[in-house]
Amino acid sequence: MMVSDGFGPASQTYARSYFQYVHNLTEGYMSPLDKILVGSSRTRSSDSLITDSAAGATAFSCAIKTYNAAIGVDPEGVPCGTILEAAKHLDMLTGLVVTSRVTHATPAAFSAHVVHRDMESEIAEQQIGDYVLKRQVDLLMGGGRCFFLPNTTEGGCRQDSRDLIKESANLGWKEVMLTRKDFDTLDAEDTGIPLPALGLFNHDHMNYEIDRDPKQEPSLVEMTIAALKALQGNAKPNQGFFLMIEGSRIDMAAHNNDPVAHAYDIIQYYETVKAVREFVSKNPDTLLISTSDHETGGFTLGLQPDPRTYPDYLWRPDVIKKAHDAKGHASTELLTKKLVEYQVQDTKRRQEFVKTEILQNGLGITDATDKEISFLADPQALPSDILTFLGHAISYRANLGWTTIGHTGVDVNLYADGDSDGYKDLRGNHENTDIGTAMIKYLNVDLNYITRKLAK
């Protein structure tokens, strides 16, 4: 199960078009996702036309509609058995690979049960096996180390003194990976990373692909290839596995209205889909489903700044490419942090810093207006305003638009590959819960049985 968080149809068109431009490809180029398009998914939750990731992921994991913020629970807050837990009950190996905190909404909805997504300390406890079903996950990789560390540790997010990394050993975890070196060393084994294994490669979310230091963090595609190797390599004959992979930060870039970070996390997701499809081609008894939980940002290709004039029907991919190729290229999130931390109060020096380090070296913008520079150089400007301003500065020049920093309630694309019997019922337009139902049917599991076990 692959989830491209916050990735709507406009984002697919955008990333494909940008990839064509960068690599000088023809108009007929098909992305790894285009080749496996089977339909679309309706994304609403039980209490809103516009879902969040918690309810969206629970629709996949439990095959039920629930309220926004719910993690593996029904509308009454009662825990519901997940497809991952049901797979584990069949003695399959299980894995979660994400670029967010592992305790974030999507991975949590497959591996925990809490009434609100913000209960990440409790989610971490359940993920390592401290709940009624005991350990259900064999491989967990992503960010979010802070929710596994006690409040006595620098960088720890927990409100208590529990050290879940130490506790994990008592709950059956064999390996803990905290660095790139840990990941590379364990992945070098003949059968891949020994299981069960916990990989926490950042205190918070892992970095956007445009910001990622490959010497410090593995990429989504690297983690995915390693997960497939480990799950297959550690499996007994005919044991099989369930793996959920999320391109988490596609969504967060859209929340920030950052088209550059958005593009490169989507392209990384393309590479990950390509890698999974290669695995599926060699293992035809495998089902791959890829979809989004929702769209984020109300992203549009085409911008009409002045409704009184006829619009320019074009977009400028060269603006995004120039930003990526800039000397100090970075996400708007990182650039905002850099500007906020610049403590110099002198107006001229601040304006020069904004013009050179933030706009020119950071985003490739060489035609900044006095108004833009003055706004960003104001030491009283709020970080949230700076973040949005930078995203819109690059988007405006590329002729791209955003309607919100939140989610939107549109249908999203649905993709599938591998064993066609597994996705024959997903062709066309479906509720997001039908994706969960398809996985239940394919694995022939009873989620109600898991739900009853949780009730005990």
pLDDT given for residue 307 in this prediction: 82
pLDDT digits (tens, 9 = 90+) for 87-114: 999 999 999 999 999 999 999 999 999 9
Give yes or no: residues 241 and 343 share one domain.
no
Q: Three-class SS of residue 451?
A: helix
pLDDT band at 306 (very low <50, low <70, confident <90, very high): confident
Segment 117-136 shows an average pLDDT of: 98
Give yes or no: residues 386 and 416 share one domain.
no
pLDDT given for residue 312 in this prediction: 82
At residue 456, does pLDDT exceed 90?
no
Segment 428-449 shows an average pLDDT of: 97
Domain final residue pick, 367, 383, 401: 401
Give yes or no: residues 288 and 323 share one domain.
no
Q: Three-class SS of residue 242?
A: strand
pLDDT band at 304 (very low <50, low <70, confident <90, very high): confident
Q: Catalytic amino acids?
A: 53
Segment 246-259 shows an average pLDDT of: 98
- Per-position DSSP letters for 87-113, written without gaps between them: HHHTT-EEEEEEEEETTSHHHHHHH--
pLDDT given for residue 208 in this prediction: 98
Residue 362 identity (one-letter amino acid) = G
At residue 309, does pLDDT exceed 90?
no
Q: Which of 279, 264, 217, 223 is nearest to 246 (CA)?
A: 223
Give yes or no: residues 289 and 332 share one domain.
no
Domain final residue pick, 383, 401, 419: 401
Give yes or no: residues 113 and 47 share one domain.
yes
Give yes or no: residues 200 and 79 share one domain.
yes
Taking only Cα atoms into account, the Rg of the chain, rounded to an integer number of angstroms, comes to 22
Q: What is the CATH number of the domain that holds 40?
A: 3.40.720.10
Segment 248-275 shows an average pLDDT of: 98
Q: How many domains does the chain have?
A: 2
Tell me if 142 sits within 8 A of 150, measured CB to CB.
Answer: no
Q: Which of 296, 202, 293, 302 is nearest to 256 (CA)?
A: 296
Give yes or no: residues 243 and 378 share one domain.
no
* Tokens read off for 261: 């970070």
Give yes or no: residues 324 and 176 share one domain.
no
Q: What is the CATH number of the domain that holds 305?
A: 1.10.60
pLDDT digits (tens, 9 = 90+) for 174-229: 999 999 999 999 999 999 999 999 999 999 999 999 999 999 999 999 999 999 99
Domain final residue pick, 401, 417, 432: 401
pLDDT given for residue 187 in this prediction: 98
Task: Quote the Cα angle for 275-277-279, to 5°.
Answer: 75
Give yes or no: residues 295 and 310 share one domain.
no
Task: Quote the Cα angle for 106-56-141, to 5°.
Answer: 10
pLDDT given for residue 46 in this prediction: 98
- Per-position DSSP letters for 107-133, written without gaps between them: HHHHH--BSSTT-HHHHHHHHHT-STT
Q: Which of 276, 260, 270 is nearest to 362 (CA)?
A: 260
- Tell me phi and psi for residue 406, to 5 degrees: -105, -160
pLDDT digits (tens, 9 = 90+) for 22-41: 999 999 999 999 999 999 99
Give yes or no: residues 120 and 13 share one domain.
yes
- Which residues constitute the domain of residue 211? 2-299+406-455
Segment 61-78 shows an average pLDDT of: 98
What's the whole-number average pLDDT of the chain?
Answer: 97
Segment 139-155 shows an average pLDDT of: 95
Q: What percent of the chain has pLDDT over 70?
A: 100
Query: What global pTM score does this model have?
Result: 0.97
Give yes or no: residues 180 and 310 share one domain.
no
Give yes or no: residues 69 and 162 share one domain.
yes
